[in-house]
Amino acid sequence: MQGWHGAGWADDTIDRAPEPEPRPVRDINRYAIALGLSPLLGIVFILFGVISSWPLDLVVWAGLIVLAILDARELRRAGYRVHAWWILLLTLVHLVHRKRRTGQSATLPWVWVACALAAFAVGLMTYDFDAELDAGDTAGTTSSLVGGPFVISGTP
């Protein structure tokens, strides 16, 4: 008979459930793809002339947070310890955190970088630098899809 002094009560006598192995998960899920392609929303906003709108920015950030939470939830179901709140710093930070925790490919962070550079390039191409210099001249290009960034309005 063993007493309460602890002799003979080793951890190996306790019947513990084995740690579950992480289940194989697809390298990239639908939420992660949406997060990786999220900078392309910038191109859509530029083409529709929405350059700066804080209510729209709040809706976009809320959508990104929801996507990150859903992505982290799906990865936690597969057995990975991933947190969604890195999205508050930047979407790229969440994607890198996701890659490091799961050991998956680095495709998504690079897709995000490529999309962000593409959105930046489109923003530079459609920005009207002449209108900035000639503040009184309204004959420059417009930045809405109706007038079009590719259509020059005004008289010759």
CA 45 to chain centre: 17
User: What predicted TM-score, i.e. pTM, was given to this entire model?
Assistant: 0.64
Query: How confident is the model at residue 110, as a pLDDT?
Result: 95
- pLDDT at residue number 56: 87
Provide the residue-wise pLDDT of the chain in tens; the chain has 156 residues: 555 555 555 555 556 666 666 555 555 788 999 999 999 998 888 888 777 778 888 999 999 999 999 999 988 888 888 889 989 899 999 999 988 888 888 889 999 999 999 999 988 888 776 666 565 545 544 444 444 444 444 444
Q: Identify the pLDDT of residue 24.
A: 57
Per-residue confidence (pLDDT) for residue 144, from 0 to 100: 45
